[in-house]
Amino acid sequence: MSRLALALGCALLASGAAAAPAFRVEREVERTSCGALVRDFVHEWAEARLEGGASFVDLDARPWRIDEPARYRRSGGTRAAEARHRVGDGALRVETALDLDAGRFAVDVVPEPAGDFALALAQYVPGVALPCRAEGRLAFAPVAGSGRAPADAAAVHGQIHRATELLYDQRFDAADAALLEAERLAPRSDTVRWMRARVAYLEGEALPAGDRRGRLEAFGRAERLADAAVALAPEHAEGWLWRGIARGRITTTRAGLSRALDVLRGERGPAWVAHCFERAIALEPGYVHFGFSAAGDARAGAAQLYRLLPGAAWASPVLGVSRDLDRSVALAREALALQPRRIEYAKELGVALLCRAHETARAADASEARRVLGGALALPVRTLYERTDRRHVQELLAGPPASACGYSRDAWEAGPRVAGALP
C-alpha cells in the first residue's frame, strides 16, 4: 500500500462521515522548462466524491494560476486534471498528473493550436519555450482541515475561471454573473469582490470617452466592490489596489485632470489614493495572469499619480502628497521589470523619464525614455486601450518632453496637448 493510500485510509477513519478528509500538500518543482508558469506551493487538499467520481480538491487553488487546478479526478492509479486557459488570441492546455504511489507530479503545458501559432502565443509567456513540462515531488500529511466544503471550493474556482475567459470577449455582464454565483457560494471571499471590481473597471474603460455617466457608474461600482474586499481582508493587497484605481478613474472621469485636484481634496484625496497604492505594494499582491500583474498595476498607478501631482511648495500641506518624479521613475521601472511585455508599463516609464528630463535637464533620462518608448512599439497589443497606448507612444516620441509631465490616456484623447500644463 502506498504512503498516500495509507494516509487516506487513516484520514477517513479519523474523520468519519462528518467531513471530507483533508491533507497538507507540499509541491516542490525539481525539473522544469516552464519557468514561473509552474511553481512550488503548500496547499490544503480534501478528498471528496463529486459529480464524476472520487476527486482531490485543492481548496487553496488560485483560479488565475494555470498550474493550480481545483480538481484532480481518479484515473487508474493516478489522479489527473486538465484545463484550457485563453491567452491573447490563443490558448494553453494544461495537463497535470499525480502519481500517488511514487509521490510525484508532472505538468505539461501545450499551446493551442500547435505549430507556428505557438510563436505568437509565446509573447505572453516570455522566456518559456512551448510546449513545456515541469516535474517534481509531492509530500502530504493528514490535517484537521479548515472545514471548507470541497464541492463549493471547486465550483467557486470554476466560476472565477469562467469569468476570466469571458473577459477576453468583453462579456462583462456574463463575467459578473459568474462571479456573483461564486460570491453566493463563498460570501466571505474578498477575492470574488476585487475580481468583480476589476470587471466593473474594465467595463468602464471599454465605454466611449463621451459616455461619462456610464463610466462613472462602472467606476463607482468598482470602488464599492473594492471597499467590500478591503473590509473582508485588509491584509490582502488586491482590494487596496482596486480602491486606488477606481477612485483615480472616478476623479479624472468626473472632472478631467484640470479640475481633479479640487475634487480630490475631500476625504478620498490624493494622499488617500497614494496610500491605497502604497499599501497594495507593501502587501505584495499575488495576482499574475499572463500579461497582467496586480503588483505591476499598483506600481504603475502610483507612478502616474506621483508624476501628475503638482510639485509646488503648497501641494504637500494642502493635498498631503506632492509630485515625486524620482519615486515615479523608480516605480514605473519596477512595474516594467515585473511585466516586460506590457506596453502600458513601458509607456509610463518613458513618460516619467521624459518628464524628469524636462524638469531636471538630464540628458540620460531623455535618451533612456526614447529607448524605452521605441521598444514599446514592438510590444503586443490586443485591447482597445492598448492600441491607444501604442498610438500615444508614437506621439510622445514625436513631441517635446514637456508634454509628458501632464500626460494621461484620457486627456490626450479628449483635447489638445499643452506642453507643461495639466491637460
CATH code, domain carrying 193: 1.25.40
pTM assigned to the model: 0.87
Distances (CA, A) of 25 to 7, 43, 67, 103, 199: 12, 5, 14, 11, 32
Q: Which one of 145, 166, 200 terminates a domain?
A: 145
- Closest among 35, 414, 143, 97 to 258, alpha carbons compared: 414
Mean pLDDT value across the chain: 87
273 plus 383 within the same structural domain: no
42 plus 102 within the same structural domain: yes
Least trusted range by pLDDT, from 102-106, 396-400, 417-421:
417-421
Asked, for residue 279, whether it belongs to a domain, the answer is yes
282 plus 353 within the same structural domain: no
275 backbone dihedrals φ, ψ, rounded to 5° = -65, -40
pLDDT exceeds 80 at position 262? no
Asked, for residue 120, whether it belongs to a domain, the answer is yes
pLDDT exceeds 70 at position 259? no
Confidence at residue 402, expressed as pLDDT on a 0 to 100 scale: 77
118 plus 24 within the same structural domain: yes
Asked, for residue 155, whether it belongs to a domain, the answer is no
pLDDT exceeds 90 at position 266? no
Band (148; pLDDT cuts 50, 70, 90): very high
DSSP type of residue 266: S
**Grid coordinates given for 329:** 521613475
34 plus 123 within the same structural domain: yes
306 plus 343 within the same structural domain: no
* Helix (H), strand (E) counts: the chain: 16, 10
Asked, for residue 383, whether it belongs to a domain, the answer is yes
43 plus 82 within the same structural domain: yes
Confidence at residue 6, expressed as pLDDT on a 0 to 100 scale: 46
Asked, for residue 168, whether it belongs to a domain, the answer is no
Confidence at residue 413, expressed as pLDDT on a 0 to 100 scale: 72
pLDDT exceeds 50 at position 10? no
pLDDT exceeds 50 at position 15? no
What number of residues does the chain have?
423
**Grid coordinates given for 202:** 474594465
pLDDT exceeds 90 at position 102? yes
Asked, for residue 320, whether it belongs to a domain, the answer is no
- Give one DSSP letter per residue of 350-363, joined into a string: HHHHHHHHHHH--H
**Grid coordinates given for 292:** 497582467
User: Across residues 89-104, what is the average pLDDT?
Assistant: 92
Asked, for residue 418, whether it belongs to a domain, the answer is yes
C-alpha gyration radius of the chain: 24
Distance between CA atoms of 251 and 371, rounded to whole angstroms? 32
Band (93; pLDDT cuts 50, 70, 90): very high
Q: Which residue has the higher pLDDT, 159 or 420?
A: 159
User: Across residues 388-398, what is the average pLDDT?
Assistant: 93
67 plus 126 within the same structural domain: yes
Query: Structural domain of residue 420, as residue ranges?
Result: 339-423
182 backbone dihedrals φ, ψ, rounded to 5° = -65, -40
Confidence at residue 11, expressed as pLDDT on a 0 to 100 scale: 45
pLDDT exceeds 90 at position 410? no
Asked, for residue 329, whether it belongs to a domain, the answer is no
193 plus 138 within the same structural domain: no
Confidence at residue 421, expressed as pLDDT on a 0 to 100 scale: 25
- Burial readout 179-201 (b: 16 or more C-beta within 10 A, e: otherwise): bebbbebbeebbbbbbbbbbbbb
Distance between CA atoms of 407 and 404, rounded to whole angstroms? 5
Band (414; pLDDT cuts 50, 70, 90): low
14 plus 109 within the same structural domain: yes
What is the number of domains present in the chain?
Answer: 3
205 plus 108 within the same structural domain: no
Least trusted range by pLDDT, from 7-11, 243-247, 268-272, 360-364:
7-11
Confidence at residue 283, expressed as pLDDT on a 0 to 100 scale: 97
249 plus 303 within the same structural domain: yes
